[in-house]
Structure 1
Amino acid sequence: MGDSVSREDGFAFWMTENFLSLRLVVLLLLLQTDCKKNPAVCTMNDLLQVQYQYYQPGDLIIGGITSHLVSFYEGADFNTYPKPKSDTEPLVMVKKYQHVLSLAFAVKEINENHKILPNITLGFHVYDSHFDAQITYQNTLNLLFSQQRTVPNYNCDMKKNLVAVIGGLDSETSVYTATILSLYKIPQVTYCLYAPGVSDVTQRSSLYRMVPNEQHQYTGIVKLLLHFQWKWVGMLAMDDDKGEKFVQTMECMFSHNDICTAFIERMPKQRNILGIINFYDLHMDIIASLRKTSVNVCVASADAQMTLVLQVVLNLIEADVMMPINKVWIMTAHWDFSVEPYFKKLDINVFHGALSFAVQFVEIQEFQDFLQIWNPSTSGGDGFIGAFWEQAFSCLLFPDTNMGNETKGACTRKEKLESLPGAFFEMGMTSQSYSIYNAVYAVAYSLNALHLSRNRHGTMVGGDHLEIFKGKQFKLHSFLRSISFNNSAGDKISFDEKGELLAGFDILNWVTFPNKSFLKVKVGRMDPQSPLSRLFSVNKTSITWRSQFKQAVPLALCNDPCYPGSSRKKKEGELFCCYNCAPCPEGKISNERDMDDCIKCPKDQYPNKKRNQCLPKDLNFLSYDEPLGISMTVLALALSAATALVLGIFIKHRNTPIVKANNRNLSYALLISLLLCFLCSLLFIGRPQFLTCHLRQTAFGIIFSVAVSSVLAKTLTVVLAFRATKPGSKMRKWVGKKFSNSFILSCSFIQAGICIVWLCTDPPFPYLDMNSLSTEIVVECNEGSANMLYYILGYMGLLALVSFIVAFFARKLPDTFNEAKCITFSMLVFCSVWLSFVPTYLSTKGKYMVAVEIFSILASSAGILGCIFSPKCYIIVMRPELNSKEQQKIEISKNLTTEATMLGNRQN
């Protein structure tokens, strides 16, 4: 579907532009009689006769249609007899005269090379298109038929053995020529780049292109813009179908690559290529756009007419506003930088630092030697050199015939082409001349292949070796399609299946100088035949920018870029390249310029303060190496040592009354459990591992249950001991070791059962918490089932609460060394610590959560140790006289007196 549409568009383009010319060709083709019988044909031929041509005889003739002459003539008004188009001397685009010379040079080399077409000489016949459709058609017919008078399908010139045609400069000229040559199956090798959409029409079986596909150039332009991050550019093109196709193609590619066009201007197309100087007002919009200082880069579709028009317009702007147009110009491969002699005052510095594409080419040193000796005396049958020489050197070859031009002197005919400024004429082979040079060689190698093929099959035995070429040009196509050779510079030349050159584009940097000379520096290339990693390359250190940019890469953005740490925010009502910059929100970064949105860091990283980089998160756990971990470890060990000391004191004084009171074994069990409580806090310090995660809470829960149940057992022992002292009390059987041991084991087994269920169903495990802290990874033990932890804490709390209540009511019972008061205070401390633990634990994160639990373990254990055992240790160590049986008797009598008093008070 897409191909058919493009072909229809191309055909419509060709028909609308050239309808009159097509009628002329059809008429000439239909009239196949002699001029004497049809004077109208002769008259028409007279009007179209062109005197400028370059003919060199040979066994086989290669035709050429160049474009370097510009003719001026008046349009027909149908009231007077029209003047022939050749009556006025044309203006010469001197730089494009090199195209003729490159063809002549290639033929000269081939004739001197006896390995190609031995015993056969090549000749050539070159006409010019004059940038005119009618003349192009006429000169194409002249190549096919008589040089003196064109009668289609009648050729009285038996020496003209035309085998192929090379040309033309632009796509229109090539299409005009192909229209006629395709009827006769004569191969045409063109060196022009086609506009998008027109190329489908030109894919004829007889047409070959010594240039790569145009699409590679457009891809290269986009990659060049993206390489320098140029997103805000202007675009210039001619106001015709080619220019419109160029604009449409580039706009589509720009939008797909986030590039915006600040302006799109179209140069008015003039019938006369020099008419621009008289239409200044028509370019006011273009001038206004180019004055914009915010646009530093302009892309131009620089065909032959655009090249001259753009130079004139830019010089007019600078003369008008008295300020340079500081732009980086990006030109297509049509660009051939030149200043014609009739515009000698044009300033070429307006294109200093420009970048252009060119078909890949290699310097041919022998061509420069050929040009150095070229002059009117050595040119042979060159019919173009007269007009060229006079206009290039501002002299007269034939002064006597130019009486009206006294300002010019006579030419010496020894002028040197190398003396001309580079803007007028280049001694080095240009990209287009290189394509013509290769085109001639492609035809020659194909002819040679055809010749060898006929020899192998015995066709020439006993016959004329030229007979195989006469009228057999169509057989040359199969050899042209498959041709592959290395030219004299070692460059490989071959066509693809579409008849296009398998090559890429060079990127040139133009460096101009005040004396109208310049340098072309190759700074990169677009090579579609290379691997993807080398498809496009550019060496920006080799590029010379305009002095205003101070050798820094120019910026081409609608506004200042959004630097890392911010993202783009669209401006309402403007193109997407124009935007505001918004700082990245919390938790996000942007690490590149002009990011559409900020991105989140990976879970193991966090944004820095500038929010332009993600930093790795540190591991967060209570380590033995940090002050908090060290202090907790020292405190736990100190309390463990204190507990061991108390245990040692109790063991040493195990037979004293104060130790025996309230069950000595319960004191030992309590002290050992407290010792283990202090030591189990060390399980919470260090990086969590599988084993430590399993042991942390379970060991803490079971050991604390033993400690609290021991305290409760001591409290119950006090109560039971008081009840058992009454006469006839049945409580005596409950007072003893069996009760206390059974009670402790029963309470501990319940806690152990909860822990076992926890470990079997949903146990704790090491876990990396990425989200709790913004800058750190919390290495923790995931509790698995948090409810089981709350069951353990709740059970301990229940034991502590019961112990506190029982001890509170037993605090005033008369008993020797009654420790119910101490137990009451210890349980008060225990309950206070763990009640404050819950909200504190839930409100902290990371290692501080672990530190809170360690502190609660140490504080509650130290509270029990201090409140219960410090008074006894004080008596044992500091007041040993109170730790005796006599003192015990005194205490018992006091207690009995106190009890009697209490009973008396109750009876009263």
Structure 2
Amino acid sequence: MVFAIEEINNSTELLPGIKLGYEIHDSCSTVPVAMHVTFQLSNGLDPVFYTGDNCSQSGLVMAIVGESESTQSISMSRIIGPFNIPLVSHFATCACLSDKQYYPNFFRTVPSDQFLADALAKLLKHFGWTWIGAVRSDSDYGNNGMASFLQAAQKEGICVEYSESLHRTDPRSRIQRVADVIRRSTAVVIVAFTYSPELTLLLGELSLKPSPPRQWIGGYWPTNQEMLKFNFCAGAIGFGIQKSVNPGLREFLLDLSPTKVAASPVLTEFWEDAFNCRMGKNAAKDETVCDGTEDIQTLKSPYTDTSQLRGTNTVYKAVYAIAHAIHSAACEDANSTAQCDKFTRMESKQVLSQLKKVNFSQNGYDVSFDANGDPVARYDLVNWQQSESGSIEMVTVGLYDASQPEGQEFSIDRNLTWMDGGKDVPVSVCSESCPPGTRKVLQKGKPICCYDCISCPEGEISNTTDSPNCFPCPKEFWPNAERDTCFPKPVEFLSFDEVLGIILAAFSVAGACLAIVTTAIFFRHRTSPIVRANNSELSFLLLFSLTLCFLCSLTFIGAPSDWSCRLRHTAFGITFVLCMSCVLGKTVVVLMAFKATLPGSNVMKWFGPLQQRITVVSFTFIQVLICTIWLCLSPPFRFENLTIYKERIILECALGSAIGFWVVIGYIGLLALFCLVLAVLARKLPDNFNEAKLITFSMLIFCAVWITFIPAYVSSPGKFTVAVEIFAILASSFGLILCIFAPKCYIILFKPEKNTKKHLMNKNQS
């Protein structure tokens, strides 16, 4: 402070012609002494110190620099607040002092603990530490700072295993209890919001019975050179006030003549302690006397080391801030020169008002105050690293700037050393992170950082680490085995590429070929008695319809579309009705032929070829009409079935109108039943080759297949529904062609001697 004031008094730009005076008091780190001094300053100084024309007025204090601790600063600010005397602290960091309602005259050149608390929480989050221990000084600084930190830590998802307080005046039993809590804890990282004296007591106790390695994190204490003696804290990380180099300060500090030392009790005490001697009259008989040959230039102590000036720099800023405020109140700047009136009657209220507007740069650092009297929060990130000699030294490894965007506050430009000198970031969590594919479930009665990892349920995923919830995949998607990604569900349908589809298609083509071959055989032998006797016209029409029946099953294979769905059901319905109409016609012809052989019967004229054609066309037209109504009102359509299987999509044909489908099936069944009844009635007609018996067998097979089809169709899942339908079509078609036409083809090809009119008319032979 003295160095800064003398620098200002010698300046030609700042307060030219005005000399700043000062008086320094020691609060002895106690509130009563600080309050006593504050009352003295607010009452004015004894005029005896101000003689002649050196001062503008008698003993009026314009501003106070201090205090270094928050508790004393709170008391001082409350005393001098009503007098509008500004208090500029260089080290009081309690966030409570930012409240202008209670402390309207308070300013500081060190960031508030609120910024430090946020910085500590973000540092923990940056390195992934979520399970920590906390130690604080039992003071305004420690209690308020820790409260701010715990609030910031909670926002970042950090949990505190324990939070202990201690004071420098506590009995040793209290210090031992806190040390035991640290030894028993599972948290690897400890955040210490303490003054150096309290932490010195705690670390001293821990050194007696070492605890497991701990990663120490702190505010300002890691920048205290005297704390470096605790080697087991190697790797500690802390935030420090930005250090700076003040040109000329080292020379000023070392410019100590014996006369200056003797004139100051403080310097005398320092001199005697530094050189282990006694000044003149203070020396006892057996003590070394300081004889003036001591050379401070050779002294190595924190006093002479100006490489780590942090708190010193905030004092420097505080003095300059007050000087700039006085300059703004007492001087006028014109033409790049300042004119100051040292005799102007200035009041502290003016200085207070101008302090709020201060904005200047000194030695490369900007100085200004926000609405709460706080500066911009910038900290050096300090790491305790072991040097080659084995000693612990402070190393600035980065910068924290609260004015930067979220997530970009840290700028780390050097490697850090961790606890026990390790190179790997220590892990301090209550529970290991839950990988993607799982979710966190809190453990009962424990903080939110203690949890179990539970796999996501079926159909849900989590794609981030430590996800609190699992999310269902969209309906067209399904999770992978790890349940961390949704993939499109595979689409399933009966295709020509799979074994089942190939087998069914092969039987379908084989059936169609069999029908064509049979047609060719019948056409080749169309004049033979067995062909002519069995109504060749209806036989050829029946073979044609069977060929279509075999081929229509192919429309059921492959990826469904709206048009293929309409085609497959209508083609199936119409071709089978055509087939049943032909069979029905053949059955009726057999019955009528037998009736015609009876004496006086003229039945055949009522069921000749024309009537047979009309019957087939009429029955078929009814089915065509049913299918047309079905297609017009509610036709089948392509449908993605997501309900049968959760993990895949079944591509199928929805019926549109279920009534339409079952009417089509029911009509076919009705004709088949009618055919069966007529065939049963004609099965014992006395013919050497009784076609009614063959039709009866074929109808029994047909009805058995389709009666079995109904429950199988309803219960079959997915593509197997289509396979059941194709199987029913093929089985019934093969039943018809084999039962009705195979015996005839056998006689035509292998028993030509039976293919005669005489043989067919011989009723006595079997």
What band does the TM-score fall into relative to the shorter chain? 0.7 to 0.9
Kept in 1: contact 2:459–2:473 (CA 8 A)? yes
Aligned to 1:395: 276
Aligned to 1:129: 27
Residue type matched to 2:214 in 1? Answer: K
Give the Å deviation of 1:326. 1.5
2:254 to 375, 393, 403: 375
Give the gaps of 5 or more residues in structure 1. Answer: 1-102, 271-275, 899-908
Distance 2:676 2:735 in 1: 13
Aligned to 1:186: 85
* Residue 220 of structure 2 is aligned to residue 348 of structure 1: no
Residue type matched to 1:328 in 2? Answer: Q
Aligned to 2:609: 737
* Residue 652 of structure 2 is aligned to residue 763 of structure 1: no
Aligned to 2:529: 657
Residue type matched to 1:466 in 2? Answer: K
Q: Deviations over 1:468-526 (max 9, x none)?
A: 4x42342234433233344432x444332232223355544333457544233445636
* Residue 564 of structure 2 is aligned to residue 692 of structure 1: yes
Distance 1:148 1:452 in 2: 25
Aligned to 1:471: 346
Q: Secondary structure at the match of 2:25?
A: strand
Give the Å deviation of 1:329. 2.2
Distance 1:811 1:580 in 2: 77
Distance 2:197 2:149 in 1: 22
Per the normalisation by structure 1, the TM-score is 0.73
Residue type matched to 1:313 in 2? Answer: L
Kept in 2: contact 1:379–1:385 (CA 8 A)? no
Kept in 2: contact 1:324–1:350 (CA 8 A)? no
Residue type matched to 2:205 in 1? Answer: L
Give the Å deviation of 1:590. 4.6
Give the Å deviation of 1:857. 2.6
Distance 1:629 1:524 in 2: 70
* Residue 192 of structure 2 is aligned to residue 308 of structure 1: no
Residue type matched to 2:641 in 1? Answer: D
Q: Deviations over 1:29-50 (max 9, x none)?
A: xxxxxxxxxxxxxxxxxxxxxx
2:394 to 495, 519, 526: 519
* Residue 137 of structure 2 is aligned to residue 280 of structure 1: no
Distance 1:661 1:408 in 2: 152
1:891 to 746, 760, 763: 760
Aligned to 2:216: 329
* Residue 476 of structure 2 is aligned to residue 604 of structure 1: yes
Q: Secondary structure at the match of 1:744?
A: helix
| Equivalent pairs, count | 758
Q: Deviations over 1:380-434 (max 9, x none)?
A: 979554444554x46347366243884898886544599447xx98633454444
* Residue 542 of structure 2 is aligned to residue 670 of structure 1: yes
Kept in 1: contact 2:86–2:352 (CA 8 A)? yes
Residue type matched to 1:335 in 2? Answer: W
* Residue 322 of structure 2 is aligned to residue 443 of structure 1: yes
Q: 1:867 to 1:326 in 2, by over 3 A?
A: same
Distance 2:515 2:319 in 1: 107
Q: Secondary structure at the match of 2:67?
A: coil
Q: Deviations over 1:585-643 (max 9, x none)?
A: 44444555554454434433334445455444222223333343334334433333333
Q: Secondary structure at the match of 1:717?
A: helix
Q: 1:857 to 1:254 in 2, by over 3 A?
A: farther
Distance 1:105 1:663 in 2: 131
Kept in 2: contact 1:287–1:317 (CA 8 A)? yes
Distance 2:443 2:483 in 1: 23
Kept in 2: contact 1:417–1:425 (CA 8 A)? no
Per the normalisation by structure 2, the TM-score is 0.86
Give the Å deviation of 1:877. 4.0
Residue type matched to 1:166 in 2? Answer: V
Distance 2:562 2:360 in 1: 73
Q: Secondary structure at the match of 2:384?
A: strand
1:502 to 376, 386, 394: 376
Distance 1:417 1:715 in 2: 132
Q: 1:131 to 1:737 in 2, by over 3 A?
A: farther
Give the Å deviation of 1:291. 0.5
Q: Secondary structure at the match of 2:377?
A: coil
Report matched runs for 1:772-787 at 5 Å. 772-787=644-659
Distance 1:679 1:750 in 2: 22
2:187 to 295, 303, 316: 295
Give the Å deviation of 1:254. 4.9
Q: Deviations over 1:536-593 (max 9, x none)?
A: 5476994322138x53333323345555555444444444444445454444445555
Aligned to 2:71: 172
Q: Secondary structure at the match of 1:772?
A: coil
Q: 1:201 to 1:476 in 2, by over 3 A?
A: closer
Q: 1:653 to 1:396 in 2, by over 3 A?
A: farther
Distance 1:862 1:418 in 2: 115
Kept in 1: contact 2:113–2:148 (CA 8 A)? no
Residue type matched to 1:128 in 2? Answer: D
Kept in 1: contact 2:526–2:536 (CA 8 A)? yes
Kept in 2: contact 1:661–1:817 (CA 8 A)? no
Give the gaps of 5 or more residues in structure 2. Answer: none
Aligned to 1:54: none
Distance 2:754 2:288 in 1: 143
Q: 1:776 to 1:401 in 2, by over 3 A?
A: same
Q: Secondary structure at the match of 2:746?
A: helix
Give the Å deviation of 1:267. 0.9
Q: 1:486 to 1:197 in 2, by over 3 A?
A: closer
Q: Secondary structure at the match of 1:894?
A: coil
Percent identity at matched positions? 34
Give the Å deviation of 1:172. 1.7
Distance 1:829 1:418 in 2: 118
Distance 2:417 2:292 in 1: 39
Kept in 2: contact 1:146–1:156 (CA 8 A)? no
Q: Deviations over 1:319-351 (max 9, x none)?
A: 2x3x3441222323x4354354xx9xx842233
Kept in 1: contact 2:74–2:97 (CA 8 A)? no
Give the Å deviation of 1:262. 1.7
Q: 1:410 to 1:687 in 2, by over 3 A?
A: farther
Give the Å deviation of 1:221. 3.4
Q: 1:328 to 1:517 in 2, by over 3 A?
A: closer
Kept in 1: contact 2:491–2:651 (CA 8 A)? yes
Q: 1:454 to 1:564 in 2, by over 3 A?
A: closer
Distance 1:599 1:256 in 2: 24
Q: Deviations over 1:78-132 (max 9, x none)?
A: xxxxxxxxxxxxxxxxxxxxxxxxx455556656765544555556544333212
Q: Secondary structure at the match of 1:127?
A: coil
Aligned to 2:363: 488
Q: Secondary structure at the match of 2:63?
A: strand
Q: 1:419 to 1:175 in 2, by over 3 A?
A: same
Aligned to 2:138: 239
Aligned to 1:803: 675
Q: 1:770 to 1:822 in 2, by over 3 A?
A: same
Report matched runs for 1:715-754 at 5 Å. 715-754=587-626
Distance 1:764 1:379 in 2: 112
Q: Secondary structure at the match of 2:495?
A: coil
Residue type matched to 2:184 in 1? Answer: K
1:364 to 226, 244, 247: 244
* Residue 480 of structure 2 is aligned to residue 644 of structure 1: no
Kept in 1: contact 2:368–2:375 (CA 8 A)? yes
Give the Å deviation of 1:290. 0.6
Distance 1:724 1:506 in 2: 119
Distance 2:557 2:620 in 1: 25
Distance 2:356 2:610 in 1: 111
* Residue 423 of structure 2 is aligned to residue 551 of structure 1: yes
Distance 1:405 1:184 in 2: 53
Q: 1:440 to 1:241 in 2, by over 3 A?
A: closer
Distance 2:682 2:536 in 1: 19
Kept in 2: contact 1:545–1:553 (CA 8 A)? yes
Distance 2:554 2:678 in 1: 32
Aligned to 1:630: 502
Kept in 2: contact 1:107–1:122 (CA 8 A)? yes
